[in-house]
Amino acid sequence: MRAELAEVELMRRDLEREVVGRKVKEASAAGMAALPRYKNRKQFTSQLDGVKIIGVVRQARILLFPLDSDDILVVKLGDGLLRRNANKDAEAPGTEIVVTFTQGGQLRLLDPDGTAEVAVVPKDDIMSEFPELNDPAVDPIDTPLAWLDFRDLLAGHSASLKELLTDGSAILSIGSMYADEILFDAGLRFDRTSDSLSTQEVRRLYRSLVETLHNIIKYRGTTLEDRDWADVFGEPGVYDQHLQVYGRHGELSPRSRSPIQRTKFKGEWTYFCETQV
């Protein structure tokens, strides 16, 4: 289950409170699926013996845990999730990595699809080892823009608004579902080009982007029947109660008496209302 950008930020905030300052007693790996940079599991787990986590940083959808050893524990989530557990908790299927603290339970990586990657690298080598951390795309959570800068960003990219919000070229991808919600809230069609917006429309889109991301975090992500998101404590999110168009095709739009529509766009379902222009 891929966590989208706002949900990874929620994970970071929770883990900042939960694991910073904790000392690692031991680490274990179920296999090599999440350790492509290593020859064996011990080569990885030995790097964590006795170290203390001193921070949690998010770069796009990658979580970085600076250690007091001057190394950084890097977790590329892929479709995986991080989970806080008591030592006695049964391991969920797909548990790949378990970090046990001297006090305060465990941190586990759940990755049943085998898409995550974990490594410990010297902090001076972090950018060369993971060049994707140099991604120039704007992080709309970590780097809030003045609306005038946002206007200039849009003007410099002649792309559909749905692409702008999801392809990661100008703005870090926030995910198809959340892009639909932002565009509905802003009253803009998914296929409008980003350089065609009026000043008022730019302001509406910027406000909707910021407010929607804030609310996704506030309501702790979206858990649906076909989307088994859970936070680091294993609790489902409740943003599904605030979805306005996603997954609601055929229902009456909150903004009109006409039904919500959906269409395939770039290979994914896109949900919208006729009031979007």
pLDDT tens digits, one per residue of 79-108: 999 999 999 999 999 999 999 999 999 999
pLDDT at 271: 98
Domain with CATH 1.10.8.50 in the chain: 147-272
156 pLDDT band (50/70/90 cuts)?
confident
Each residue's pLDDT tens digit, 181-197: 999 999 999 999 999 99
C-alpha neighbours within 13 Å on the C-beta side of residue 248: 20
| Res. 145 pLDDT band, cuts 50 70 90 | confident
The Cα–Cα gap between 37 and 75 comes to: 13
Query: Residue 202: is its pLDDT beyond 90?
Result: yes
pTM: 0.96
Per DSSP, the three-state class of 224 is: strand
Region of poorest pLDDT, from 143-152, 156-165, 179-188, 239-248 = 143-152
What number is the average pLDDT over the span 219-234?
97
- The helix-helix angle for 199-218 and 176-186 (nearest 10°) equals 130
5-134: CATH class: alpha beta
DSSP codes joined into one string, 109-142: EE-TTS--EEEEEEGGGHHHH-GGGG--SB-TTT
Residue ranges, comma separated, of all CATH 3.20.190.10 domains in the chain are: 5-134
Q: Which CATH number fits domain 147-272: 3.40.50.1000, 3.40.50.1100, 1.10.8.50, 1.10.3720.10?
A: 1.10.8.50
Task: Say which amino acid occupies 37.
Answer: R
Report pLDDT for 1: 79
